Amino acid sequence: MSKQITGFSKLSKSNKIDWIVNTYFSNKEDAKNILKQYWNSNEKLQQLHDEFIENTITNYYLPLGVAPNFLINDKLHTIPMAIEESSVVAAASKAAKFWLDRGGFKATVISTTKVGHVHFIFSGNIEKLQRFFNEVKPKLIEDAKPITKNMEKRGGGILDIELKDKTSALPNYYQLHATFETKDAMGANFINSCLEQFAKTLKSEALNFEEFSNEEKVIEIIMSILSNYVPNCLVRAEVSCPIDKLSDSDDIDPEAFAKKFVQAVKIAEIEPYRAVTHNKGIMNGVDAVVLATGNDFRAVEAGVHAYASRNGNYSSLTHAKIENGIFYFWIELPLALGTVGGLTGLHPLVKLSLELLHHPSASELMEIVAVAGLAQNFAALRSLTTTGIQEGHMKMHLMNILNQFEATDAEKNKLIEHFKTHVVTHSAVVEAINKMRSGEF
């Protein structure tokens, strides 16, 4: 039975593990051995991982794979992908190879503006507040200079600060809506530091503003925080080719495939039930690269799905059309990414992944990530509208099922050969394993 513990964070790593093992596991020795198996034998490297977060007890591994042959803006890339789901890397690689012979992917960063807010309560006269803001705005920027000077040297900094009246949605609620350019940094810490300084200046200067009554002088700061919704930090990726070049198989009629593909995208544009799964497939590619490059995939997910709902209905992130005999397929994504700061300079595999990508700038990484999402979606829709999604996916999943049943190398070889000509389902694989082990196969 679980029990409360005080001072857990102050325990040594070894003592944390002892408490967890003794409290929660029946086979204590096995549990402890599993936790320790995933420690890095390099003590310095393990300490680095231990210090990424709090209360670390072990490492949680994900496979790091690569998808080669991505031609992006006429430059060839091999893209690193950290993900556990079967068939994602294979699908991305297949899409990359397909478009390599058709001009590759084109990508453009549309804008790189990021946003943060100071949320506050003011119960006085709005016209006075607006005059106060106009007067204090230069000081807001000036007081943040110690924070912004290094970012400004790199070409970034505060772009603008606006006063937003949100009282129609919530009584007495206003915000400072600030926009930033953070160059190659994702910029979360920079933005939050600026916002907290804005809040201090706003509150202190209000006390000295002569037009405010004594009650109006008290501005209540609720919070100061960046937004992960970045609709103006936007990148576009696209592919196109003549319809007659859209097939690499005698079994697929290119014109019929193009029409069916466009219809599949249109369904995802108007049907939220389909759009969620459609966009999840896009994020298979996006998240895998974001994670491999040490960026915050949770922030990216939140921002992307908000963007997919920006018109009031949840909709597809990709779009397709046929025009004058040409097939067009494209995506626009809001992506706040960094190639400096955070894990990018700490995690050895992150540094390796960025080097693999030719040390991209943040804008170049935005392009690469958007391309990975588009490629993943193309591969998924191509399967869905031709052979069906399960044929390729289950063949990639076959190894997971075999490992689940602890198949030997000899059993794996025999069953992989068998399922080259048979449909892979979980039940079919289990049946084949049982028959093999009973001598019937």
Domains and CATH numbers, the chain: 8-50 (no CATH), 64-108+234-387 (3.90.770.10), 114-226 (3.30.70.420), 393-437 (no CATH)
What's the chain's average pLDDT?
Answer: 94
Q: 67 forms bridges with which residues in the sheet?
A: 79
Higher-confidence residue of 75 and 434: namely 75
- The per-residue pLDDT for 2 is 63
Q: Which residue has the higher pLDDT, 252 or 84?
A: 84
Answer yes or no: are the C-beta atoms of 368 and 357 closer than 8 Å: yes
Catalytic residues: 85, 280, 296, 393
The model's pLDDT over 140-164, given as tens digits with 9 standing for 90+, comes to: 999 999 999 999 999 999 999 999 9
**Chain CA centroid to CA 113, Å:** 18
Share of the chain above pLDDT 90, in %: 83
pLDDT of 247: 85
Distance CA 372, CA 377 (A): 9
Residue 398's pLDDT is 79
| Residue 390 pLDDT greater than 80, yes or no | no
Q: Which of 220-224, 299-303, 332-336, 415-419 has the lowest mean pLDDT?
A: 415-419
Q: Compute the chain's Rg from CA coordinates.
A: 27
| Res 399 pLDDT > 80 | no
Q: Which of 406, 431, 405 lies closest to 418, judged by CA?
A: 431
pLDDT tens digits for 193-213? 999 999 999 999 999 999 999
Position 389 scores a pLDDT of 54
- pTM of this structure: 0.89
List all residues 6 or more positions away from 19 whose beta carbon is below 8 Å from its beta carbon: 5, 8, 11
Taken in order 377, 380, 383, 388, the sign of the CA dihedral is negative
